[in-house]
Structure 1
Amino acid sequence: MIVSVVFDVGETLLDDSREFGAWADWIGAPRHTFSAVLGAVTAEGRDNAETFQYFRPGFDLHRERSLREEAGLGEQIEEEDLYPDTRPALSTLRRAGLWIRIAGNQTARAAKLLRDLELPVDQIATSAEWGVAKPDPGFFARVIEMAPGEPHEIVYVGDHRDNDIIPAKAAGLRTAFIRRGPWGHLWAEDPTILRTADWKVHSLTELAALLPQVR
């Protein structure tokens, strides 16, 4: 039986296109070039933060994020950034009696912006607030600590093989892989995903129809 569902953020609930574009503009790179390099880094299984090093060797992501904030060009998360199925699917799952949480590798600012959207969820947390980020086992220990149910009664939903599905499964959670965004499409037929994910879906609408039926 599923008691709780915990969602990743980027490319699971949110379309990251606007934020990727903002970073490309900030470093003065053509958006298509930035996306191409990001894709190459992703395909090699590396941290996407390494993308910046190709444009600015020694790039300090934390410092540059602060500079963006000071310039009034900081991260934005608005209704238009949500995938169209996000709010309806969260509502459906909550009405089915499941406990819903959002927990991803995001900044404290992102947590505030997500809370401002008043999504139909029970709790929102980010790695910056917890002081531990995926794929560290400590992140998923926090998920288990806060979510009702035993680990096998908790589903973690994400698009990333290495940050979401593998470590969540290793922590004893059930996992749902969503095929969207660059990582979701890249790894959709990856043998590890096929072996590790309990479910593979193409939309949150599909997931919302599926999980309440699991016993």
Structure 2
Amino acid sequence: MDGSQTAPARRVELRSADGTRLVATDRGKGTAILIVHGGASTAATWEFVADRLAERHRVLCLERRGYGVSDEGVSPHSIAAETEDVRALAATAGEPVLLVGHSSGAVVALETALAAPRTCAGLLLYEPPVAVDRPLGGEALRLARAQLDQGRPEQAMATHLRRIVGMSRRSVLLMRALPPMRVMLGNQAEAQIRDDEAIEALGVGLDRYASLDVPVLLLGGERSPAHLRARLDALARVLPRVHRMTIMPGQGHMANFRAPGDVARVVADFAEDVLG
């Protein structure tokens, strides 16, 4: 499963329920897998995983509103609007999909499954930053928003990475020292802080997920910040149909980019169980 035999991805344009123009990629044939990327990134961060999965499946990768080439959408940004985006793309598959979400995209996937469970044959959640017992960002998020409004997007992203994601100061400094990474952080700041605010607007607590009647695989990385594993553990206690939890050895929050073959194997194994 190296993705070398798959045909090039096809570009798809569609409209969400509120009229926002969305772009996605569509590759492969067979039962459908739909991938929702994380914050401060684009669908391209999952292309190496998608290429591998497309050897046996149809793989749809959504470019989330506000990221990449999809339109920004209406204001204020909300997770509810993003669930409509996912549902619009899933409808093109003509059948229930295996919904894969990463980071804030995993929160979108989880909320989509809750709102429209018939959309999903299964749900794979890679380290969603759900608010278990306290707001996601709190004072740190308000600081990041103030920095963004002051025209300091790089500093806003540094606040997000250090105080919300939990990255080390050294890691953030190294990222900001690389000119391409520094430009990317600045360009993605507005969308990322909007993501944080939309998740925080969902409120605190996971009880509403106790009724979710969809098989779920929880995915994490051994080297990810500890709070992300704690959030997975909290979801495992609440969700009624946890298929299993998989923690990838030696990996962190970006294994889709650093070890796409490993991630593709986890997704493919789960797809075999829920899609057949």
TM-score normalised to structure 2 length:
0.36
Q: Which has the higher relative contact order, 1 or 2, with Cα contacts under 8 A spaced 6 or more apart? A: 1
Q: Looking at secondary structure, tell me which structure has more helix per residue.
A: 1
TM-score normalised to structure 1 length:
0.44
